[in-house]
Amino acid sequence: MIELGDRVQDTVTKFKGIAMARAVWLYGCDRIAVHPQELDKEGGIAEALWFDEPQLKIIKKNAVGSKSGGTKPEKKTGGPGPTPSKRF
C-alpha cells in the first residue's frame, strides 16, 4: 500500500513524484495525488496529477517525513486545540 510521503512512479507515463494526497471513492477506486519534485518548463511549481493506486509503483518508502529525515516538521506546529467552554 502506498503511504503519503512515498516517492512513486506511474507505470504508464513514467511520471515521478511524492504521494501527497489520497482519495477513496465509494466503489473502490483509490487515487493518489503525485506532486513532482522538479519545476515545470517555465521554472514554476508543477501541479500534482492523480493516478489510480494500482498503476503506481513505490520508488522509495518514506521519502518525505520524519522517519527519513525529510522535510516534515518534527515539532507540533498547531492544529486542533482544546474545545472552548460554552458561555451562556
Instruction: Give the domain range for residue 45.
Output: 7-68
Q: Is residue 63 part of a domain?
A: yes
CA 71 to chain centre: 13
Q: Is residue 21 part of a domain?
A: yes
Q: Is residue 76 part of a domain?
A: no
Q: Is residue 25 part of a domain?
A: yes
| 76: alpha, beta or left? (left if phi > 0; alpha if psi -120 to 50) | beta
Q: CA-to-CA distance for 61 and 79, rounded, in angstroms? A: 26
pTM attached to this predicted model: 0.69
The yes-or-no verdict on residue 68 having pLDDT over 50 is: no
The amino acid present at 79, given as its one-letter code, is G
The yes-or-no verdict on residue 82 having pLDDT over 80 is: no
Domains in the chain, number: 1
Q: Is residue 77 part of a domain?
A: no
Q: Is residue 86 part of a domain?
A: no
Q: Is residue 16 part of a domain?
A: yes
The string of pLDDT tens digits covering residues 1-42 is 899 999 999 999 999 999 999 999 998 889 999 999 888 888
The yes-or-no verdict on residue 64 having pLDDT over 80 is: yes
Instruction: Label residue 55 exposed, middle or buried (CB < 10 Å: 0-12, 13-18, 19+).
Output: middle
Q: Is residue 62 part of a domain?
A: yes
